[in-house]
Structure 1
Amino acid sequence: MKNAVKEKLATGKQVLGCFIGIYAPNIVEIIGYAGYDFIVIDDEHGAFSHSELEQMIRAADSVGLVPLVRVSYDPSSIQKALDRGAKGVQVPMVNTKADAIQAVQRAKFPPKGTRGAAYSHRAARFGKDSGAAFLNASDDHIMIIPHIETLEAAENFESIMSVEGIDMAFIGTTDLSVNMGYKEAGPMHPDVQKVVSDLYAKAAKKDMPIGTVAANAEGAKRAFAQGASYVSVVALSVILQSLEDLRHACQYEEKRP
């Protein structure tokens, strides 16, 4: 079991991925063929059965994409994602050190955590892998990524990131802006950007990778320049924008009956 994203981040490299919240294995394959590093299957806002989640992860594996899952609030969501073969989890609304500890506990096997052990699932190649070798490899290679997306989480950033087993932080700028009361101005409001800049500075001081979401290429470049090493765009938004841009570029005269 290897995790190319975790390995790249450990050597200071930057990685680019996509969020996707619909069941569309073919789109996952296309993202892989386009050369992205990872896919985040959105089980917080998306709609997936456990079997659909597994098929999405399988599609990612088939094209060399590292599959991660933004888990839901169901207590079993982390277990289900990792048993399906996810190489990591993004955990929403981690606001305190206790929240971070709970995420690690659910993702790691004893004695590091409380994740239930089994070998009949896809992550263990349906029983081909087992015992200490599988359990230790899983603990070593999966990524646990808390979302910093409220003012409370930003204020508790150092204590959250001090938890053993946390690999990096992810700034959820949309939720952060809403939490701070800027529903109209959104993530680009100066007060929100000040919090974001402070988070990048704190991460750099601790030599801890940090990631975020971007709406487009300009947003991704800006995030990388600020200090992000892990940036994810929203696949469906990119597809929609590309389709709209193409339609406008065609400059055709739309005729209606």
Structure 2
Amino acid sequence: MNNKADLTSNEKIAHGMFLGVYSPALVEMCSYAGFDFIIFDNEHGAFSDRDLEEMIRTADAVDLLSLVRVSYDESSIQKALDRGAKGIHVPMVNSKLDALKVIQKAMYPPLGNRGVAYSHRAAKYGQLSGRQYLQQSNEDIFVAIHLETYEAFKNIDEILQVPGIDLIFIGLTDLSVDMGYPNNSNHPEVQAVVEQIYQKAKQANIAVGEVASNEETAQKAVDRGAKYVALVGVNYVMNALKKYVQNMAK
């Protein structure tokens, strides 16, 4: 996979990983293992601006599609894309206005108001420029927005009307906490909201993605229609280490 169309294809499920720690080696491993994409977590993760660029550079070197879950900083979208990320995940999109602001920040004019420069890495340090580069960038950037509150669910019909959104990503943990079930994302009320999100997104012809902690939760997401599944890398590694120690202690 090397473009955004592959991420929401009906032909196969795209699998990737959230990564919130600086580890170029783990990025390489994800590619060699066969993952389709990697999401550098700049919302919860521990990345400096330099770290983020180096991780994106590593992903490019091993032909792994690089995405960034941006922070709440106003410049976060701009910086991720200027550093060469192929797309963004934007947390806490709760309204149509929030979604419109995402598109405005991610797209160059006339579709948005992203600041233009040709000296950054995404433009190959000035080797790409002009109308053709701006248009191609607008076409190529992958935009995933996170619906992770009950407010977002109530506004989903308006949110889905915003052009330029490629994926609805369900933030199940935040959603369950927001709905009053912090330790029970499987609560029937939470699951009913999730199912309605799938139904409404399908009607709007927009793919849905989910997070997964292991193979079981990944398969559960796929079974209900997810076209895109992102494993939480640190949790998966931690659980594997614990399982090894527990098994060897028997």
Aligned to 2:13: 14
Q: 1:212 to 1:112 in 2, by over 3 A?
A: same
User: For the Cα contact (< 8 Å) 2:78–2:115, is it kept in 1?
Assistant: yes
Question: Structure 1 stretch 26-35 or stretch 69-78: which is displaced more?
Answer: 26-35
The AA in structure 2 aligned to 1:204 is K
User: For the Cα contact (< 8 Å) 2:42–2:71, is it kept in 1?
Assistant: yes
The AA in structure 2 aligned to 1:222 is K
Aligned to 1:166: 165
User: For the Cα contact (< 8 Å) 1:5–1:38, is it kept in 2?
Assistant: no
Cα separation, 1, equivalents of 2:151 and 2:161: 16
Cα separation, 2, equivalents of 1:10 and 1:229: 7
Kindly indicate whether residue 248 of structure 2 is the aligned counterpart of residue 250 of structure 1: yes
Aligned to 2:219: 221
Cα separation, 1, equivalents of 2:186 and 2:5: 29
Q: How many residues align?
A: 250
Cα separation, 1, equivalents of 2:30 and 2:12: 20
TM-score (norm. length: structure 2)? 0.96
Cα separation, 2, equivalents of 1:224 and 1:11: 12
User: For the Cα contact (< 8 Å) 2:41–2:68, is it kept in 1?
Assistant: yes
Kindly indicate whether residue 136 of structure 2 is the aligned counterpart of residue 141 of structure 1: no
The AA in structure 2 aligned to 1:181 is G
Residue 204 of structure 1: how far off its partner (Å): 1.6
User: For the Cα contact (< 8 Å) 2:4–2:142, is it kept in 1?
Assistant: no
Aligned to 2:93: 94
Question: Structure 1 stretch 137-146 or stretch 199-208: which is displaced more?
Answer: 199-208
Write out aligned runs for 1:30-41 (5 A): 30-41=29-40
Q: 2:18 aligns to what SS in structure 1?
A: strand
User: For the Cα contact (< 8 Å) 1:3–1:142, is it kept in 2?
Assistant: no
TM-score (norm. length: structure 1)? 0.93
Aligned to 2:124: 125
Write out aligned runs for 1:146-161 (5 A): 146-161=145-160
Cα separation, 2, equivalents of 1:243 and 1:222: 23
Which segments of 5 or more consecutive residues in structure 1 lack a partner in the other structure? 253-257
Q: 2:8 aligns to what SS in structure 1?
A: helix
Residue 23 of structure 1: how far off its partner (Å): 1.3
Cα separation, 2, equivalents of 1:115 and 1:12: 33
User: For the Cα contact (< 8 Å) 2:94–2:155, is it kept in 1?
Assistant: yes
Q: 1:134 to 1:71 in 2, by over 3 A?
A: same
Residue 13 of structure 1: how far off its partner (Å): 2.9
Q: RMSD between aligned alpha carbons?
A: 1.4
Question: Structure 1 stretch 215-224 or stretch 239-248: which is displaced more?
Answer: 239-248
For 1:240, which of 228, 238, 241 is the aligned residue? Answer: 238
Which segments of 5 or more consecutive residues in structure 2 lack a partner in the other structure? none
Q: 1:188 aligns to what SS in structure 2?
A: coil
Residue 157 of structure 1: how far off its partner (Å): 1.1
Aligned to 2:43: 44
Kindly indicate whether residue 66 of structure 2 is the aligned counterpart of residue 67 of structure 1: yes
Q: 1:226 to 1:39 in 2, by over 3 A?
A: same
